[in-house]
């Protein structure tokens, strides 16, 4: 392990050197990030999953940077052109782009105007020009280089100019200074292409048809919007900077004294700027802007996904799931407290399709079907998907509840990705005799009961809580989202006797084959009665068991500790504490245990048992809350019994809503209207807000005030800042 790199990583992340060393050692031993974060706190000093991931990412970048430095030094040295000064510059570089700038002059080039000129023997003429002669005649000097290929002095001087232009472009110091200046002072502009309006009939990208903004100030979501407009061939995009200023800068650097060739040098500099430097730096800056914007978009998606996955489950509720539709009818499924389907049906409750051939709408019959399902199965909540016909279906359900004075409530469920799951091989295997829409109705109901267990069945990219997710690096997006899902699953823990293969796949230490084998073993041998049985499952060895066991719970087994997050490696200590304080598993989670734990002398326990503070606290916390679910700390889904119409709204009206999506410019809030209302970032607080996720998160239930209602466009602008009262 390179000590210099370790020190660099620790400095960049503001953690201790020892923490970096321990994390890297644990990762090299094959430990997973969730396992290290939960069960190796005493070694890492209590670092969480994000900090461990950051150490791994920073270390990987540093290792790749160091490897590239070594390769560049070797390649330059092979050309016998490595100087002490250049060696120091490469070793001191902190970014890959700086290393590449330093390597650029020595890199094997493809065919360029400069390489062709060198082949023609014009490099000595370029060298002579760069001595900045005070006397003599350039044309006379150029005559020496006239050959069959170089027919005139003009061609000779032009060829020498190509060589000089490329050398100027390859200068690392010049490039770095100009890149920073362009980023600081330059502008990104976009202009409409011919036919843009016709190809963008809704005017989604209209603001970018004649747009200009400072590179240093442009928001990341606007970078991605401009990129999208460009990819759709609606606009042409460019980076604009003061070229005269660039010319002046390079002249001051290149021209070292008065000379007979200075006018020619100025021409060569202009050629270098126009043909080499400017296009290259423009590409680099746009690439850098895009990379930063993608990282920001991925971070926003990750935060939203985490909060969506950790929404609290509606435990012990019987749910009627509704997949709304007009023409094909609303598919209904009732699921019990465990998510097992009890009944399914279809209704046609929408006036819109009365009289349509083949779809005679039977509203009274639809009412009868829903009422019978609710009564027969004691339905607690109706879960309505938020897709097509959602609000019309909501109106039907709300009217039914109100007119029949039912205690049943309803909730609008975000069904993003439900259709992806419904058409998947997994869904077909689970419900082979169901239609796609019927599977979707099951998914909607289960998504309310336990969002995490249902959402893990869907590709995270298909869950609609991102922004421009299809425009970013799909590899980076997948890696980040998989990390988020894995963290969420392992934070909550998994009941090994009820978990699906999809859920088990995200458990620390398990892969898809192991998850499949656990389900097969369970189906063949019945429920697991203790964690040790996991070692009987094919492919699960000692290491896999070590990494997974603490996250796999057995609620009604023959070992009380198996229901907790206590790792089997700590059972001996846990049993000793239980023995000393007369604690039995049947009182886990009860007030009796809570009182016992409160009066324990933890310092003495640590000394007597030779145990670290982290493990001791985790064991005692597990006694008090054996089935602790971190999701219980979040806001529960908002239940409704009546609807709200857009026409009912007035500016200043106070509403309550659920945050459905957080984006760079604000948050979309479901207040029970046809469309989610937008709280712009400027209306989230009385103070400046840099990141909307600092204020709200997906799933939050918040108070908002109506700012503006556009009934024509069916749009609502909201504010989280209460309106001022008139005196």
- Residues in the chain, how many? 727
Which residue reads 């023409």 in tokens?
Answer: 327
Q: What are the DSSP E strand ranges found in 102-250?
A: 187-192, 210-214, 235-240
Weakest mean pLDDT among 465-474, 481-490, 493-502, 662-671: 465-474
**Residue 521 is part of a domain; what is its CATH number?**
1.10.150.310
What is the average pLDDT across 129-147?
Answer: 96
User: Does residue 34 lie within any of the structural domains?
Assistant: yes
Among candidate residues 379, 410, 407, the one with its CA nearest the CA of residue 396: 410
In the chain, DSSP finds a helix count (H) and a strand count (E) of: 31, 15
pLDDT in tens, 248-257: 999 999 999 9
Residue 297 is assigned to a structural domain of this protein: no
Query: 3-class DSSP state for residue 15?
Result: coil
Residues 399 and 440 grouped into a single domain: yes
Q: Residue 439 in 3-state DSSP? A: helix
Cβ atoms of residues 571 and 579 within 8 Å: no
676 domain residue, yes or no: yes
Question: 605 with 665, same domain?
Answer: no
One domain, residues 620 and 678: no
Give me the CATH number covering residue 665. Answer: 2.40.50.140
CATH number at residue 21: 1.10.10.650
Q: Of 43-47, 152-156, 631-635, where does mean pLDDT reach its minimum?
A: 631-635
CA-CA distance, 144 to 140, in Å (whole number)?
7
Q: How far apart are CA 550 and CA 565, in angstroms?
A: 5
Is residue 311 one of the residues assigned to a domain?
A: no
Distance CA 98, CA 215 (A): 20
Q: Tell whether 625 and 663 lie within a shared domain.
A: no
Q: What is the pLDDT at residue 112?
A: 95
Residue 464 located in a structural domain: no
What was the pLDDT predicted at 356?
52
- 535 within some domain: yes
Tokens standing for residue 546:
């070590």
Tell me whether residue 223 is in a domain. no
Do residue 526 and residue 625 come from a single domain? yes
Same domain (yes/no): 665, 579: no
72, 105, 138 - which closes a domain: 105
pLDDT at 101: 94
CA 638 to chain centre: 26
The two tokens of residue 455 are: 């959402």
467 contacts 459 by C-beta, under 8 angstroms: no
Does the structure show a pLDDT above 80 at 171? yes
Contact 249, 222 (CB under 8 A): no
Distance, in Å, from the CA atom of 266 to the CA atom of 253, rounded to the nearest integer, reads 11
Residue 614 lies in a domain: yes
377 with 434, same domain: the answer is yes
The residue out of 105, 127, 161 marking a domain boundary is 105
Q: Tell me: pLDDT of 727 over 60.
A: no
Domain count, the chain: 4
Residues 257, 258, 263, 265, Cα dihedral to 10°: -20
Question: Tokens standing for 659?
Answer: 């945050």
Q: Are 163 and 117 in contact (CB under 8 A)?
A: yes
Q: What are the tens digits of pLDDT across the range 4-37?
A: 899 999 999 999 999 999 999 999 999 999 999 9
Specify whether 532 is located in the same domain as 442.
Answer: no
Residues with Cβ within 8 Å of 622's Cβ and at least 6 positions away in sequence, in order, are 564, 565, 566, 574, 588, 628
385 and 415, same domain (yes or no)? yes
Model pLDDT for residues 509-552, shown as the tens digit of each residue: 999 999 999 999 999 999 999 999 999 999 999 999 999 999 99
pLDDT band at 354 (very low <50, low <70, confident <90, very high): low
DSSP code at position 688? -
Above 70 in pLDDT, residue 726? no
Q: What angle do CA 203, 204, 207 make, to 5 degrees?
A: 80
Q: Percent of the chain having pLDDT more than 90?
A: 77
Mean pLDDT for the chain?
Answer: 92
Q: Are 610 and 366 in contact (CB under 8 A)?
A: no
Average pLDDT value for residue range 436-451: 94
Question: Closest Cα to residue 332, out of 323, 340, 341?
Answer: 323
pTM for the full model?
Answer: 0.85
Which CATH number belongs to the domain containing residue 417 in this structure? 3.30.420.140
Using CA atoms, how far apart are residues 200 and 211, in angstroms rounded to an integer?
A: 16
Q: Which residue matches tokens 């005692």?
A: 620
Three-state DSSP at 678 gives strand
pLDDT value of position 162: 98
| Backbone conformation region of residue 381, classed left if phi is above 0, alpha if psi is from -120 to 50, else beta | beta
Per-residue DSSP letter, 640: B
Q: What is the pLDDT of residues 581-604, one digit of tens each?
A: 999 999 999 999 999 999 999 999
The CA distances from residue 704 to 305, 643, 651, 672, 718, in Å, are 23, 17, 11, 13, 6
Angle, vertex CA 509, rays to CA 46 and CA 576, nearest 5: 60
pLDDT tens-digit series, residues 641-665: 776 677 778 888 888 888 989 998 9
The last residue of a domain, from among 89, 105, 121:
105
Burial 298-312 (b: 16+ CB within 10 A, else e): bebbbbbbbbbbbbb
Are 567 and 517 within one domain? yes
Domain that holds residue 708: 646-719
Separation between Cα atoms, residue 389 and residue 393, nearest integer Å: 6
Between residues 466 and 242, the one the model is more confident about: 242
Indicate the SS3 state at residue 423.
coil
Claim to verify: residue 592 and residue 653 sit in the same structural domain: no
φ/ψ of 110, rounded to 5, equals: -75, -175
The reply to whether 561 and 590 lie within a common domain is yes
What is the rounded average pLDDT of the residues 208-237?
95
């Amino acid at each position: 392990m390179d000590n210099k790199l370790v020190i660099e990583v620790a400095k960049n992340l503001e953690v201790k050197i020892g923490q970096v060393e321990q994390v890297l050692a644990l990762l090299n031993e094959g430990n997973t990030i969730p396992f290290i974060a939960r069960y190796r706190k005493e070694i890492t000093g209590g670092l969480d999953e994000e900090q461990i991931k950051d150490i791994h990412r920073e270390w990987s970048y540093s290792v790749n940077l160091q490897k590239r430095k070594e390769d560049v030094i070797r390649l330059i040295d092979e050309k016998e052109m490595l100087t002490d000064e250049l060696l120091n510059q490469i070793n001191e570089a902190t970014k890959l782009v700086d290393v590449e700038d330093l390597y650029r002059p020595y890199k094997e080039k493809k065919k360029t105007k400069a390489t062709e000129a060198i082949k023609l023997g014009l490099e000595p003429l370029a060298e002579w020009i760069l001595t900045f002669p005070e006397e003599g005649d350039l044309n006379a000097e150029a005559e020496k280089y006239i050959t069959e290929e170089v027919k005139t002095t003009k061609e000779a001087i032009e060829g020498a100019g190509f060589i000089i232009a490329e050398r100027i472009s390859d200068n690392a110091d010049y490039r770095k200074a100009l890149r920073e200046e362009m980023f600081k002072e330059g502008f990104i502009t976009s202009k409409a292409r011919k036919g843009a309006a016709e190809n963008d009939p809704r005017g989604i990208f209209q603001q970018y048809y004649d747009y200009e903004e400072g590179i240093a100030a442009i928001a990341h979501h606007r970078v991605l919007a401009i990129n999208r407009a460009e990819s759709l061939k609606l606009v042409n995009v460019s980076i604009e900077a003061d070229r005269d200023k660039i010319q002046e800068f390079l002249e001051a650097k290149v021209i070292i004294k008065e000379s007979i060739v200075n006018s020619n040098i100025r021409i060569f500099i202009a050629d270098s700027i126009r043909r080499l430097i400017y296009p290259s730096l423009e590409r680099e800056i746009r690439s850098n802007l895009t990379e930063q914007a993608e990282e920001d978009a991925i971070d926003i998606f990750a935060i939203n996904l985490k909060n969506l996955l950790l929404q609290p489950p509606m435990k012990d509720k019987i749910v009627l799931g509704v997949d709304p539709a007009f023409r094909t009818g609303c598919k209904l499924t009732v699921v019990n407290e465990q998510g097992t389907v009890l009944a399914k049906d279809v209704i046609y409750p929408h006036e819109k399709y009365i009289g349509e051939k083949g779809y005679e709408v039977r509203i009274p019959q639809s009412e009868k079907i829903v009422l019978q399902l609710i009564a027969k199965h004691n339905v607690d909540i109706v879960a309505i998907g938020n897709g097509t016909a959602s609000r019309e279906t909501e109106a039907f359900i709300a009217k039914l509840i109100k007119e029949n004075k039912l205690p049943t409530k309803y909730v609008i469920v975000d069904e993003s990705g439900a259709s992806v799951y419904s058409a998947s091989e997994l869904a077909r295997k689970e419900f082979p005799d169901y239609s796609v829409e019927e599977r979707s109705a099951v998914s909607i109901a289960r998504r309310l009961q336990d969002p995490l267990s249902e959402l893990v069945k869907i590709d995270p990219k298909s869950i609609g809580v991102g922004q421009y997710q299809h425009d970013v690096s799909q590899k980076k997006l997948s890696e980040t989202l998989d990390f988020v899902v894995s963290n969420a699953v392992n934070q909550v823990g998994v009941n090994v006797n009820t978990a699906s293969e999809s859920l088990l796949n995200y458990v620390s230490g398990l892969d898809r084959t192991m998850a499949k084998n656990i389900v097969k073993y369970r189906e063949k041998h019945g429920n697991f009665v203790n964690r040790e049985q996991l070692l009987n499952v094919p492919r699960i060895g000692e290491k896999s068991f070590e990494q997974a066991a603490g996250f796999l719970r057995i609620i009604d087994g023959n070992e009380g500790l198996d229901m907790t997050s206590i790792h089997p490696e700590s059972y001996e200590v846990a049993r000793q504490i239980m023995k000393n304080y007369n604690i039995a598993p049947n009182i886990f989670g009860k007030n009796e245990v809570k009182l016992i734990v409160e009066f324990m002398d933890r310092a003495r326990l640590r000394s007597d048992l030779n145990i670290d503070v982290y493990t001791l606290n985790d064991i005692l916390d597990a006694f008090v809350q054996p089935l602790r679910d971190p999701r219980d700390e979040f806001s529960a889904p908002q239940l409704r019994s009546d609807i709200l119409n857009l026409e009912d709204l007035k500016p200043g009206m106070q509403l309550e809503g659920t945050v459905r999506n957080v984006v760079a410019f604000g948050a979309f809030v479901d207040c029970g209207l046809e469309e989610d209302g937008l709280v712009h970032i400027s209306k989230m607080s009385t103070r400046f807000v840099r990141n909307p996720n600092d204020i709200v998160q997906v799933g939050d239930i918040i108070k908002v005030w109506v700012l503006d209602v556009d009934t024509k466009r069916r749009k609502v602008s909201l504010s989280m800042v209460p309106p001022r009262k008139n005196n």
